[in-house]
Structure 1
Amino acid sequence: MKLGLNLSFAIKRWLGGDAMAHIVKNEIGCDIVQFTWDLVDPWWPAEQRDPIAREYAAAFRRAGITIESTFGGLASYTYNHFLAPTPELRALGKEHLKRAIDMTSEMGVRAAGMPFGSFSAADALDPVRRETIYKDAIGAYLDLTHHAKARGLDTLYIEPVPLATEFPSSAPDALRLMKDLNAHSAIPVRLMVDWGHALFTPLFGDKADMDYWMEICGDYIGAFHIQQSDGLLDRHWNFTRDGVITPDRLAEFWRRHRLSSQTYFMEIIYPFEETDEHVLADMKAAVALLRQAA
């Protein structure tokens, strides 16, 4: 298995490129990461933001760590972005991704992504409104594929999410979005499928199945987020805990579908109150379990 770390485990803890690179490379022993926007906010003024982002990227390069992509984190996920109820909010969602693309380019990273967005409670129940907003969102996102290409990026990622008020949540919705975007996009748009989202049984029932996701939209899946979950909530637990997504299950899926280029990014989110010592020990233990299964 090709294993990487989403840096969500480190937020509010190991700040700065050298400190983070030491934890990733020397303590946990990984050399592929996905940089979370929770470490550097795309909305910060570019004059202050970009030197900080470049410092992380330079430190990672010195340590022999590859940043494969940057990705929205907890803060970014808070907002409705491309599917917000008003044109003004949707324009801010577009600007959010535009600034993240600019920051990613400054870091010398070739891919960026985030969830597409979420409808308001009222719009989610109105099929006409949903379709109107969706079509507007497609146009806005396509504009950004041209901006991303101009800034040197070669891929944008969208993460399906486990709420019916968001889009896409289901595999058929993800396939529709990929076809609608890639028919006219300046660069490829791919899915970043989170195992914990795809196996969310309260929403998907018997379709909470990663093989089903591969059958429906596997051609568009560029990478995965992996986490431990009970299938009942979006847990983002580590693999040191019991759950439905075991290291052996991940390894068997990888072999059976003959995956090679996609990365399994561990997206582990700890309570902020957890000690740094526990987080580091738990991450090291989980990586050992995954490598043993592989």
Structure 2
Amino acid sequence: MKLGLNLSFAIKRWLGGDAMAHIVKDELGLDIVQFTWDLVDPWWPAEKRDPIAREYAAAFRRAGITIESTFGGLASYTYNHLLGPTPELRALGKEHLKRAIDMTSEMEVRAAGMPFGSFSSADALDPSRREAIYKEAVETYVDISRYAKEKGLETLYVEPVPLATEFPSSATDALRLMKDLNAQTAIPVRLMVDWGHALFTPLFGEQADMDYWMKTCGEYIGAFHIQQSDGLLDRHWNFTRDGIITPERLAEFWKRHKLADQTYFMEIIYPFEETDEHVLADMKASVALLRQAA
């Protein structure tokens, strides 16, 4: 398995490029990461933001760590972005992604992504409003793709989410979005499929199945987020806990589908109150379990 690390586990803990590179390379023994915007906020003023972002990137390069992509985190996920209920909110969503692309370009990273957006409760229940906002969002994203290409990016990622008020949530929604976007975008757009989202049984029922996702939209899946879950909520637990997404299940899926280029990014989110010592020990144990299964 090609194993990488979303840096969500480290927010509020190991800040700064050298400190983070030491944890990733020396403590966990990994050399592929996905940089979360929770560490550097795209909305910070560029003249102060970009030197901080570049410092992370430079430290990782010195340590032999590849940043495959940057990605929206907890903070970014709280907003409606391109599917917001008003033109003003949707415009801010566009600006948010453009600023993240600017930051990603400054880091000399060639891919960035985030969830597409979420409807308001009222719009989610109105089919005509959903469709109108969706079509506008697709046009906006195509424009963003041109901007990303100008900034040197080669790929954009969209993460499906486990809420019916968001888009895309289901595999069929994801397939529709990929076809609608890639018919027009200046650079490829791919899916960042989160196992905990895809296996969310209360929403998807029998279609909460990764083989179903591969059959439906596998040609567009560029990478995965992996974590432990019970299938009942979006847990983002580590693999040291019991659940339905075991290291063995991940390894079997990888081999059976003959995956090679995609990365399994561990996206583990701890309570902020947890001690740094526990988080680091737990991450080490989980990496060992995944390597043993592979």
Q: In structure 2, what is the Cα distance between the partners aligned to 1:7 and 1:183?
A: 32
Q: Deviations over 1:77-136 (max 9, x none)?
A: 000000000000000000000000000000000000000000000000000000000011
Q: What 5-or-longer segments of structure 1 have no aligned partner?
A: none
Is 1:209 aligned to 2:222, yes or no? no
Kindly state the Cα deviation for residue 262 of structure 1 after the two structures are TM-superposed.
0.1
Q: In structure 2, what is the Cα distance between the partners aligned to 1:23 and 1:172?
A: 38
Q: Which residue of 2 aligns with 1:168?
A: 168
Tell me the secondary structure at the aligned position of residue 118 of structure 1: coil
Kindly state the Cα deviation for residue 280 of structure 1 after the two structures are TM-superposed.
0.2
Q: In structure 1, what is the Cα distance between the partners aligned to 2:88 and 2:182?
A: 26
Kindly state the Cα deviation for residue 231 of structure 1 after the two structures are TM-superposed.
0.2
Q: Which residue of 1 aligns with 2:192?
A: 192
Q: Deviations over 1:211-244 (max 9, x none)?
A: 0000000000000000100000000000000000
Runs of 4 or more, structure 1, over 3 Å off, are none
Correspondence list, 1:267-278, <5 A: 267-278=267-278
Is 1:108 aligned to 2:114, yes or no? no
Kindly state the Cα deviation for residue 268 of structure 1 after the two structures are TM-superposed.
0.1
Tell me the secondary structure at the aligned position of residue 112 of structure 1: strand
Q: Deviations over 1:152-183 (max 9, x none)?
A: 00000000000000000000000000000000
Q: Match for 2:81: what amino acid?
A: H
Correspondence list, 1:6-25, <5 A: 6-25=6-25
Q: Which residue of 2 aligns with 1:128?
A: 128
Tell me the secondary structure at the aligned position of residue 101 of structure 1: helix
Q: In structure 2, what is the Cα distance between the partners aligned to 1:119 and 1:159?
A: 15
Q: Which residue of 1 aligns with 2:218?
A: 218
Correspondence list, 1:22-33, <5 A: 22-33=22-33
Correspondence list, 1:1-294, <5 A: 1-294=1-294
Q: Deviations over 1:52-91 (max 9, x none)?
A: 0000000000000000000000000000000000000000
Q: In structure 1, what is the Cα distance between the partners aligned to 2:131 and 2:184?
A: 19
Aligned residues between the structures: 294
Tell me the secondary structure at the aligned position of residue 176 of structure 2: helix
Q: Deviations over 1:4-54 (max 9, x none)?
A: 000000000000000000000000110000000000000000000000000
Q: Match for 2:236: what amino acid?
A: H
Q: TM-score, normalised by structure 1?
A: 1.00
Identity of aligned residues (%): 87
The alignment's C-alpha RMSD in Å is 0.2
Tell me the secondary structure at the aligned position of residue 292 of structure 2: helix
Q: Match for 1:242: what amino acid?
A: D
Kindly state the Cα deviation for residue 139 of structure 1 after the two structures are TM-superposed.
0.6
Q: In structure 1, what is the Cα distance between the partners aligned to 2:173 and 2:68?
A: 26
Q: In structure 1, what is the Cα distance between the partners aligned to 2:285 and 2:161?
A: 28
